[in-house]
């Protein structure tokens, strides 16, 4: 897409090389080396120990299962929200629209620790709903529901933020056409809207999932740290670290890093997809 740079736009070779070197160096120092270190530390005791750490430890296995339960649950719920919010925001104009957009962005700027704290304030035994929950035998904090809730909180914006620009960019013409031709609301949604936004939706899901799996701060506050019960993968890594099992902690970390790299690969693959109409932001 880029035309060859004219002499007027070409930077002197020395400057070019220097800037490339700086760019590469910065990225290497800040990203590549730490990433490599994760895997190096994980394999410090050899491959056999690495595999054992991940597969043989029942608490780690449970942490894998727990993360694979919490993250998809949070993502699924946030997909429903993202679709609803994007539909309302992209297709309609109403009073308070800007406020809604700002509110969606809110969890981005809230520290995860505060997210955990506010849920303890609401659902902990000393919190607003605590006694009522206890009386009815419902446990939220220090159990699975609490973990899902805080993960929901921190990942709220992801799907919505991806869908809104896509919906806005594609325009409502086809949908309006479908309606005027007699399609029902859900029919129009299923047959016209979804196929158009499916790549944006997928993109949002991938980002949302990556964030959900890696959530640490909020989970730390509401987890209860019961090994084999309420430790997600990031919490398990921290716990292993505390139990002198540094290679074990990094083994779990490497699993998370691997998932991150897979996420990135999917993201790159999606970006290259011909159907994907991506504009800035």
Partner 1 sequence: MTRPRVLPGYRLALAYATAYLALLVLVPLAACFLRAARLTRAQLIAAVWSDRAVAAYALTFGASLAAALVNAVFGLILAWALVRYDFPGKRLLDSLVDVPLALPTAVAGLTFSSLYVETGWLGCVLVPLGVRGAYSRLAVVLVLAFTGLPFVVRAVQPVLETADPATEEAAACLGATRGQTFRRVTLPYLLPAWITGFALAFARALGEYGSVVFVSGNLPYRTEIAPVLIVARLEEFAYGEATAIASVLLLASFGALLAINGLERWSVRRYA
Partner 2 sequence: MTASGFVQARSPARALVQLVEVAGLVLGLAVVVYAATIELLNASYDPTRELWRELNGRFAARYERETGHHLTIRQSHGGSSTQARAVIDGLEADVVTLALFGDTDAIRKKGLIDVKWVERLPNRSVPYTSTVVFAVRRGNPKGIRDWPDLVRPGVAVVTPNPKTSGNGKLSFLAAWAAVIARGGSEKDAREFVARLYGQVPVLDSGARGSTVTFVQRKIGDVHLTWENEAVRAVAEAPPGEVEIVRPPVSVLAEPPVTVVDATVDRKGTRSAATAYLRWLFTEEAQEIIARHGYRPVDAAVLARHRRAFPPLTLVPVTALARDWSEAQEKFFDDGKIFDQVVRR
| Torsion (CA) 48, 213, 190, 269 in degrees, nearest 10 | -60
Q: Which of partner 2, partner 1, none has residue 242 at its interface (CB below 5 to 8 Å by kind)?
A: partner 2
- Distance CA(277)–CA(279), nearest Å, equals 7
For partner 1, which is the closer residue by CB, 65 or 176? Answer: 176
Task: Tell me the three state secondary structure of residue 232.
Answer: coil
Per CB under 8 A, the list member of 214, 231, 245, 248 interacting with partner 1 is: 214
Cα–Cα distance for residue pair 147/66, rounded to 1 Å = 10
Site string for partner 2, 123-142 (x = CB under 8 A): xxxxx--x---x----x-xx
Decide which of partner 1, partner 2, none touches 51; Cβ closer than 5 to 8 Å per partner kind.
Answer: none
257 touching partner 1, by CB under 8 A: yes
Which of partner 2, partner 1, none binds 142 (CB below 5-8 Å, type-dependent)?
partner 2
Using the rule CB under 8 A, which residue among 179, 246, 266, 270 binds partner 2?
246
Which x/- pattern over 222-251 shows residues binding partner 1 (rule: CB under 8 A)? -----------xxx-xx--x----x--xx-
CA–CA–CA angle 227, 208, 239 (5° rounding): 20
Please identify, using beta-carbon distances, which residue of 57 and 152 lies nearer to partner 1.
Answer: 152
**Part in contact with partner 2 (CB under 8 A); list of ranges 8-16, 183-191, 205-213, 218-226:** 218-226
Measured over the CA atoms of residue 110, residue 113, residue 115 and residue 118, the dihedral's sign is: negative
Going by C-alpha positions, the residue among 214, 223, 208 that lies closest to residue 252 is: 214
Minimum distance of partner 2 from residue 228's CB (angstroms): 6
229: helix, strand or coil: coil
Binding residues among 124-163 for partner 1 as defined by CB under 8 A: 126-128, 149, 152-153, 156
| DSSP code for 2 | P
Which of partner 1, partner 2, none does residue 141 bind (CB under 5 to 8 Å by kind)?
Answer: partner 2
Contact 70, 153 (CB under 8 A): no
| Residues 126/120, Cβ–Cβ less than 8 Å | no
The C-alpha atoms of residue 258 and residue 148 are separated, in whole angstroms, by 22
How many residues make contact with partner 1 (CB under 8 A)?
Answer: 105
By three-state DSSP, how is residue 227 classified? coil
Residue 15 vs 65, nearer CB to partner 1: 15
| Separation CA 89–CA 178 (nearest Å) | 20
| Residues at the contact surface with partner 2, assessed by CB under 8 A | 120, 123-127, 130, 134, 139, 141-142, 224-229, 241-244, 246
């Amino acid at each position: 897409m880029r035309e060859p740079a004219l002499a007027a736009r070409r930077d002197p070779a020395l400057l070019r090389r220097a800037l490339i070197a700086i760019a590469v160096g910065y990225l290497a120092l800040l990203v590549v080396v730490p990433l490599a270190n994760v895997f190096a530390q994980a394999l410090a005791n050899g491959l056999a120990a690495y595999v054992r750490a991940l597969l043989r430890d029942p608490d780690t296995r449970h942490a894998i299962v727990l993360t694979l339960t919490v993250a998809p649950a949070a993502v699924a719920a946030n997909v429903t929200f993202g679709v609803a919010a994007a539909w309302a925001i992209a297709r309609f104009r109403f009073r308070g629209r800007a406020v809604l957009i700002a509110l969606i962005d809110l969890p981005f700027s809230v520290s995860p620790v505060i997210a955990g704290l506010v849920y303890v304030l609401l659902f902990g035994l000393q919190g607003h709903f605590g006694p009522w929950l206890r009386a009815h035998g419902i446990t939220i904090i220090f159990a699975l529901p609490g973990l899902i809730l805080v993960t929901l909180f921190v990942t709220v914006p992801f799907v919505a933020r991806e869908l809104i620009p896509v919906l806005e960019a594609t325009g409502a013409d086809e949908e309006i056409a479908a309606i005027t031709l007699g399609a029902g609301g859900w029919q129009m949604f299923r047959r016209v809207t979804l196929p158009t936004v499916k790549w944006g939706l997928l993109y949002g899901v991938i980002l949302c999932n990556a964030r959900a799996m890696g959530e640490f701060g909020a989970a730390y506050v509401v987890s209860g740290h019961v090994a084999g019960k309420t430790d997600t993968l990031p919490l398990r890594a921290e716990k292993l670290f505390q139990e002198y099992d540094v290679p074990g902690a990094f083994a779990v970390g490497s699993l998370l890093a691997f998932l991150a790299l897979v996420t990135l690969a999917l993201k790159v693959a999606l970006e290259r997809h011909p159907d994907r109409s991506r504009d800035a932001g």
